Chain A
Amino acid sequence: MLPEIVLTIGASLLLIAPVLGWRQREGAAKWAMLSLLAVTFATVSICSFAVTGIAQSRTFASMFALDPFAIFFKLLFIAAVAMVTLLSDDFLRESRYSSWEYYSLLAFALTGMMFMASGIHLASIYIGLELMSLSSYILAGFFKNEEKSTEAAMKYFVLGAVSSAILLYGISLIYGVTGSLNLLAIASSMSKIVSNDALMFGIMLLGAGLCFKIAAVPFHVWTPDVYEGAPTPITAFLSTASKGAAVAIFARIFYLALHDFHLDWSNVLATIAALSMILGNLAAITQDNVKRMLAYSSIGHAGYVLLGILSMNAMGLRGVLLYTLVYVFANLGIWATVLMLRRHEYAGERIDDFEGLSRRAPFWAFAMVIFLLSLGGIPPTAGFIGKYFLFAAAVQAGFGWLAIVAVLMSAVSMFFYLRIVVAMYMKEGSEAEVAITAPLKWVAAVSLAITLFVGIAPAPLVNQVTRSSNWVAARAAILPNAGR
């Protein structure tokens, strides 16, 4: 638990730093945050060496586990938050708000996410989730004087609180039936249950709460408004790291605890996945605002990730891990490019703003094409590898119809991704300046390198993901009902 302790202390220090007389030194906040993240990253890596060879090391009354699955997600979250920090730099400099508070909230959100990645107990998962969500609500409304930002935060908070309540109710029902909150204990007592309505209801509520967090249809309505209203770096955070954390617990809970009733919930989840892919991608076609468009497309991506969860096989879990990583970096790259176009508060948000970008910033326009192709799943970008695993898992699990929906919808999704490409390459645009600052360049360049590298030489990552997901996937396969 060392990394979490380090991070919590660091986050608290960030919060009190202005009180200690650092208020005027706004510039230092970014460096403080980055070094905090670097230290956390290092401690996670050291811890991961410490637990090599051990399937899972548990502490804190078996509420907190350090296993390869957790380490994979923790490192991913730290990297993503570091990139969000870089994205936020210019944005904060132009605003009047304290960057110390901002970064401290971001660090607390990260702490929550790291607890989520490690949680093997519904209580610790829930606490992690709430820590992340509460920080995100504040961050979404961080620009207090912006009407849109406040509205987004309010919507996010109200709907998020309701969904947390639903989630909690589901957890309590599951506790009532199985008598435990530990995921493994739930699984073992479930294996003795043939059928139980209260349990089914509990699973349903739990699933509904989680679907809200990953923005799957029909629990998606908050997404476009919140993504549009929140400050762009925070949108980047919500759509990548925060969503990734929700995916991590979704996968962990369903694979570890609920696999015994796979046949009961997989069809419900399949319907949700199909609806998310169809609605998300079709709705994105009509959007003119890039933030809204990406919001709808992220609903579609939630549907793809669900494929990996509902197929309940090793391929699927690997797909979930891979796709989360791929999606996080492609999206961060896109947000970096969107921020490059920012001239005033809200520019860079309309598709028209991309017009002629290939002239103004040829390299970054090219990078944007790669990110969009990656989201669309076109080889040789990383997105193809991720989608490949998810589709393969669905085919393997016998969800052929769902795989057909998925591939057709990814063809549809190329339609609106190409709208941005058309604007960049095939329209003559304004000659307005672009604000390409060093931090944005770093984020875009790193994302580009990862997206291309994983696309061309996927073997190292695939091996890593296999190692990371083996233990969890193996637990799911132990019981006879699981998988097909």
Chain B
Amino acid sequence: MDIGILNIVTYLPLLGAAVILFFFRDPKKIRYSATFFAAVDFVWSLALWWNFDPKASGEAMFQYRWTREWISTLGVRYDFGVDGIAVLLIVLTTFMGLIAIWSSFTAIEHRQKEYYVLLLLLQTGMIGTFCSLDFFLFYVFWEVMLVPMYFLIGIWGGSRKLYAAIKFFLYTLTGSVLMLLSILALYFFNDDGIPFLHIAGLHRGYTFSILQFHQIGHLIPPSLQFWIFLGFFFGFAIKVPMFPFHTWLPDAHTEAPTAGSIILAAVLLKMGTYGFVRIALPVLPDATRQLIVPIVVLAIIGIIYGALVTLVQKDMKKLIAYSSVSHLGFVMLGMFALNPMGLKGSVIQMINHGISTGALFLLVGMIYERRHSRLISDYGGLAKQMPMYATLFLIAALSSMGLPALNGFIGEFTILVGAANRNIWWAVFAAVGIVLGAAYLLWLYQRVFWGPLDNPANKNLKDLNRRELVLLVSLVGCMVWIGIYPKPIFDMLDQPVDYIMQKVDPAYYHQSAVAAPAPVRPATPAAGSKTLEAAK
């Protein structure tokens, strides 16, 4: 029987969790077997990438399809399949999952078994979400992620862990149940829309298939699309998190254990942006185009407000957490520029943010393990004491602020080009965010690593050990690789981005073929800048 490589990648961590749960008692064995399963999973996901054909277009772009009947009465199918975007995010997930597990070796000292079991469980949930091509299945995996993360924050978190965990859970749950309503509305529209389905020559009756909705989405009346979009928007925007819904993020990030923060930043936040790319944009094109301006305004507010709040943080971990709000603002901005450049930049930035911010959280976690303090004022002059640590921190910070030749630059630059294509003012505001980003990271670096080493508690700090060095060097390696040779990633994105653009704005390619220099929708940019001025 054909098991399906996607099933292997998805359920291997679950298998690992079960094995650890039932067979191991010794903490050392638990740690090594968790790492083993995460590593094998990573290798499988690389095989996924290796065998993937980035040239396939249209629906054939979704590869490794594996579908079975699940609840036939409802039309629910177990439908797995990935396109270029999903493959990249899965590889990111398995890679960061491995890093997260490996980084917890010394950080977690009590209840280790539960800890590693939950991390592996979380990984299954995340990969499953990326693989799902059925709304029902997508929702199930989406919720499966919630519970392990709640426990990770609640059990192994910092001093305000209970508050942070509940806040995280309730915020996300509220968003996702509203998303569920939108899914239901789509589902029943499909029922009413039997004639449409006949025209499209599609399966008649109830279906949850995301791909089928890609095809019939534009037939949904725009007024209904608006409400459905709103439900999805809440679900995804809370997860991203976009500006007014971001308040759970600093709490969750700050209180979570290091590995939790890494996973949260690297993958969980991408769930929201991935949801927009996979569902909101292609299924609801009219609503998407209608809502470009408000969403871009929120994204730009997020970029600038996030950066300003980041500047004044006293706690390193909180500082990096707030910087995520700003970075995810970039991702949303690029996406809602609604042109191929912006979308590509947006996806690349998702991956970059995962690597860079993950690395920064890891670095903060390492120093926290040594000193049990995250306050910037407790440090100073660490560059003398911990030269390797300082160097790697600098590279990660530079990557996060978008220095050329590192990964951050590629993403931010592409997003800016995309945004400028649509409206030059969007790019201008976003550029302000980049400047602020450089400011808060460099200032952080300056306060922590330069100046006199005057705190006596810091005089005995040890530099990185071998395990930590391997972890960080592999992350830095990725940063340099994407910064210098991003072509393999861009190649993966050509077809998916093309596909999404065809769905969300079929007029775009038509107009660029005519070589009309005028903006796609003349009304939009003007309205955009006006709203922006008003928003200021």
Contact = CB atoms under 8 A, between A and B. Distances in A.
Interface of A: 369, 373, 378-380, 384, 388, 391-392, 395-396, 400, 403-404, 407-408, 410-411, 414-415, 418, 422, 425-426, 458-459, 462-463, 466
A459 B72 CA distance: 7
Given A379-B139, A415-B166, A426-B154, A391 B161 contact: no
21 contacts: A384-B143, A392-B188, A395-B185, A395-B188, A403-B181, A407-B177, A407-B180, A407-B181, A410-B177, A411-B174, A414-B173, A415-B166, A418-B150, A418-B166, A422-B166, A425-B154, A425-B155, A426-B154, A458-B71, A459-B73, A462-B73
Interface in B30-73: 69-73
A418 B184 contact: no
Interface in B52-102: 69-74
Given A425-B154, A426-B161, A462-B74, A380 B170 contact: no
B187 interface: yes
Nearest to B137: A379
A437 B260 CA distance: 37
Of all A-B residue pairs in the complex, the 4 with the closest CB atoms, nearest first, are A407-B177, A379-B140, A395-B184, A411-B174
B375 interface: no
Contacts of A418: 150, 166, 169
Nearest to A461: B71
A415 B187 contact: no
The residue in A384, A388, A415 that gathers the most chain B C-beta atoms within 10 A of its C-beta is A388
B181 A373 contact: no
A380 B173 contact: no
Interface residues on B, range: 20 to 34
The residue in A380, A403, A418 that gathers the most chain B C-beta atoms within 10 A of its C-beta is A418
B232 to A, nearest CB: 14
B145 to A, nearest CB: 11
Contact of A425 (B151, B180, B184): B151
Given A378-B147, A418-B169, A426 B184 contact: no
B146 interface: yes
A361 to B, nearest CB: 14
A380 B166 CA distance: 20
B162 interface: yes
A161 B178 CA distance: 41
Interface of B: 69-74, 139-140, 143-144, 146-147, 150-151, 154-155, 161-162, 165-166, 169-170, 173-174, 177-178, 180-181, 184-185, 187-188
A384 B140 CA distance: 9
Contacts of B161: 426
Nearest to A409: B177
Contact of A407 (B165, B178, B185): B178
Contacts of B184: 391-392, 395, 403
B143 A426 contact: no
B140 A380 contact: yes
A403 B169 CA distance: 21
B73 A404 contact: no
A463 B177 CA distance: 25
Nearest to A379: B140
A463 B178 CA distance: 27
B71 A462 contact: yes
A427 to B, nearest CB: 9
Contacts of B146: 378
Given A384-B140, A407-B181, A422-B166, 15 more contacts: A378-B143, A379-B140, A380-B143, A388-B180, A391-B180, A392-B187, A411-B173, A414-B170, A414-B173, A415-B166, A418-B150, A418-B166, A422-B165, A425-B154, A459-B72
B70 A459 contact: yes
A463 B181 contact: no
A461 B74 CA distance: 12
Contact of B155 (A380, A408, A426, A463): A426
A426 to B, nearest CB: 5
Contacts of A426: 154-155, 161-162, 165
A299 B119 CA distance: 36
B257 to A, nearest CB: 13
Nearest to B156: A426
A402 to B, nearest CB: 11
Contact of A422 (B70, B162, B187): B162
Given A384-B143, A426-B154, A462-B73, A408 B177 contact: yes
B143 A422 contact: no
A380 B140 CA distance: 6
B116 to A, nearest CB: 15
A304 to B, nearest CB: 13
Nearest to B136: A388
Nearest to A369: B147
B73 A395 contact: no
A307 B71 CA distance: 22
A378 B125 CA distance: 13
Contacts of A415: 166, 170
A414 B147 contact: no
B153 to A, nearest CB: 10
A458 B73 CA distance: 10
The residue in B139, B147, B162, B185 that gathers the most chain A C-beta atoms within 10 A of its C-beta is B147
A395 B161 CA distance: 37
B125 to A, nearest CB: 10
A403 B178 CA distance: 9
Nearest to A427: B162
A137 B365 CA distance: 60
A425 B140 CA distance: 24
B291 to A, nearest CB: 20
A466 B177 CA distance: 25
Contacts of B150: 418
Given A380-B140, A407-B180, A418-B166, A396 B188 contact: yes
